[in-house]
Amino acid sequence: MIDLSTNYLGLNLRSPIVASSSPLCRSIDSIVQMEQAGAGAVVLHSLFEEQIMLDSFWFDSFLNQGSDSFPEAMGYFPDQQSYQIDPKGYLTHIEEARKAVKMPVIGSLNGVSTGGWIKYAREIESAGADALELNIYFLATSIQTTAQEVEQSYCELVRDIKQQVRIPVAVKLSPHFTAIANLCRQLDLAGADALVLFNRFYQPDFDLETREVVQNLNLSTSDELRMRLHWVALLSPYLRPQLAITGGVHTAEDVVKGIMAGAQVVMMTSALLKRGIEYLELLESDLLTWLEAHQYQSINELRGAMNSASVSDPSAFTRANYLKVLSSYSLKPVA
């Protein structure tokens, strides 16, 4: 019997395939279905910093009835009805999910400032979450903000939260950093237990007729996996925190590639949104078929087999291979 079990964030998982944060995680029934279909763990949808701020604003409104500034200030926040769950409801959701399934349940906080994060990190822990994922999303749109300031804020946030909770903490990162390897090292020193590479940010489009900014949500494809493989393969031999891949995982081959690069787990959302939660069963079957065909007895035998410390030509991951790749493309005659 091939062993798919692995360990992530100090938690024992039956499979390296993790259902990552998505609208599907808002339903307890869906979370139960994920476990039944073979997910190793689930990362719940995020509690956003804006929700924490909004929750505080509504509380403060009762203490400041008649304040002329309050209605105007409220305009900076989304309408409360636009969020499907408030902070207190989120904590209840964790408690219910923890009771409903045996697989690890990982809470998620999305924001950038320390503020309410520490309070809710503690409360997420108290609600029964097995671990916490910090989904840090900060756009440095000011021309005065330096890269050093951004990176320092990330590390301070991780360090502050690690000092306040006992559960493991993972950090979900954007790929848009100048020196991401060094940032990962600094997050290691700040205490991060795992790094999740990489977040997918949904970019606005323009409607040329109405001249409005249009929000589009495009699901990932397997092509997006390459950037994740590249960085996990480069970093996995040299970092203490475990690495998780998210973005572009759709097939059993994608899972295999992620583990070979050195990831402890691979996470998926788009594939489940496209094909349904039951797709996890087919994915596991295909993964077992691949492992059996290649004579592997466990998923752990694969780990790191294609990272930068294991391949015969490590330059394939660096600039040394850049010219070779560019010159490998041959133009085809135009019909």
pLDDT in tens, 281-325: 999 999 999 999 999 999 999 999 999 999 888 877 776 566 666
Coil/strand/helix, residue 305: coil
Is residue 44 in a domain?
Answer: yes
CB 38 within 8 A of CB 17: yes
The token pair that represents 93 in the structure block: 């959701």
Distances (CA, A) of 120 to 98, 105, 172: 17, 16, 17
In the prediction, which pLDDT does 235 show? 97
- Structurally, how many domains does the chain consist of? 1
Which pLDDT band, with edges at 50, 70 and 90, does 151 fall under? very high
The token pair that represents 140 in the structure block: 């440095």
Residue 151's contacts (CB-CB under 8 Å, 6 or more residues apart) are 177, 183, 186
What does the alpha-carbon distance between residue 283 and residue 171 come to, in Å, rounded to a whole number?
Answer: 26
CB 235 within 8 A of CB 198: no
Which pLDDT band, with edges at 50, 70 and 90, does 139 fall under? confident
In the prediction, which pLDDT does 266 show? 98
In the prediction, which pLDDT does 132 show? 98
Is residue 333 in a domain?
Answer: no
Range of the domain at 81: 6-327
Residue 200's contacts (CB-CB under 8 Å, 6 or more residues apart) are 220, 224, 246, 247
Is residue 252 in a domain?
Answer: yes
> For position 99, which CATH number holds?
3.20.20.70
Is residue 88 in a domain?
Answer: yes
* Nearest in space to 131 (alpha carbons), one of 73, 196, 81: 196
Is residue 332 in a domain?
Answer: no
Which pLDDT band, with edges at 50, 70 and 90, does 276 fall under? very high
300-333 in b/e burial notation, b at 16+ Cβ within 10 A?
Answer: bebbbebbbebeeebeebeeeeeeeeeeeeeeee
What does the alpha-carbon distance between residue 111 and residue 124 come to, in Å, rounded to a whole number?
Answer: 15
CB 102 within 8 A of CB 35: yes
Strands 169-173 and 194-197 turn out to be: parallel
Coil/strand/helix, residue 189: helix
Is residue 335 in a domain?
Answer: no
Is residue 16 in a domain?
Answer: yes
Is residue 29 in a domain?
Answer: yes
